[in-house]
Amino acid sequence: MAIPSGDIFFASISELSAKLRAREFSAVELTRAFCDRLEKIGAAHHALALSLRDTAIKKAQDVDGDLKRGRTRGPLQGIPYGAKDLLAVKGQPTEWGSRAFAGQKFNEDAFVIKKLASAGAILIGKLAMIELAGGVGYGSAAASATGAALNPWDRSRWAGGSSSGSGVAVAAGLTGFALGSETSGSILTPAAYCGVTGLRPTYGLVSRRGAMSLAWTMDKIGPMCRSAEDCGLVLHVIAGADEEDPGSARKRFAYVPQFDRQVSDFTIGYAPVDFERAAPGTQAAFRAALDVVKGLGVKLKEVEIPDFPYGALVETVIGAEAAAIFEDLIRSPKLETMADPSQAAALKAALDIPAVNYLKAMRIRTLVREAFQNLLYREVDMLLTPSRMETAPPIGSLDGGDDRPIAGKRGLGDLIPAANLAGLPAISLPCGLAGGLPVGISLVGRAFFENHLIGVGRAFQAQTDWHKLKPPVTES
């Protein structure tokens, strides 16, 4: 059997699965090849927190034994993947991107890690992240124990936070797929900057048990993959009820594309101002993507999101909840070991958020949910907007010029904080290059609308090759 090389690292989950079953190569050979890339390219791009080569090879041997005996478990069987380092892996360091938690270990795998193991997926590494998933704000791309994650499209650019390593790993062909997390933008941002497909599930659809908490009422775990189809295959495995997660929605999810509605059945809301607000160099790519969506036969309707102070609400909710979660760290000398002093200072200041402010924010948040429910049930089925209004910024600056104001026009510019407050699902789809760097568009849907978001994503990607583009660094 041939040792995998070249394009195989950018193959879809279904393609890899078919080749494994056809015995074109073994799971051990595939796993070793991916581990080599992850350890070499991942480390060079500050995307690797911990290689799990030894345990991965043992798991791959078990998979080969099962496949030899005809024991199949689904399309993820034998697929090497990576997990953001906020997910616990039994007996292995899980350091949350922080020197303050160096050497920390847990006695049990995170719920999603267990589910993927049961499906036969092979965990080959813990992936780098912004320290404490961003805490309550950070001012540097280097706010991580592993340093600034370098974008594989241009090493002078940032990969995006806080699921930085996950974005790099998928974009550079270091893993078959990856797990990230989002509290307010941490799947969609690196997906857009790195040119991969990222899915943020509805709040509570995927258990957070065994994951670091940043904000109990906003944290979500989701897949970052090469395509919408791959996101569906991964979500099929990791979603579902968990009685031990208080935030679990206790709902099942099955990826069933054969039963999905026709794309032409959907009404999608968008705002022309978003395509004017985007950075000048990106507008042509976004308009081309909008033309593709129009060509799918969907009904487009101009809308604006409800008028709320989304940024202030997110800041208050995450700040108050993070301060409670990390109070012991904030009051200890270990706070001074954080990579970004501004993040440490922000955590410390968050202890002083008055309870009345948090409670007011949560009351207004209820109104946000009601407003979006009205918008997504009475006017449109989904919302479409650029995932980010700019390409990946230089490593030395996190300011990419996002969301430039246009007088008198609101559009959907605050959709990342707004939809996260409402707990709504979203998918980010690569939609081209601007100045040699990826850009992406996002679809946001009603709660538990994942199958439909993936369905539109699949239709979009059937008409484009943007999700198949490979960064130049991977050719070296």
Active site residues: 84, 162, 186
Classify the phi-psi angles of 159: left when phi > 0, otherwise alpha if psi is within -120 to 50, otherwise beta: alpha
Classify the phi-psi angles of 135: left when phi > 0, otherwise alpha if psi is within -120 to 50, otherwise beta: left
> What is the Cα 294 distance to its own chain's centre?
26
| 195-196-197-199 Cα dihedral, nearest 10 degrees | -100
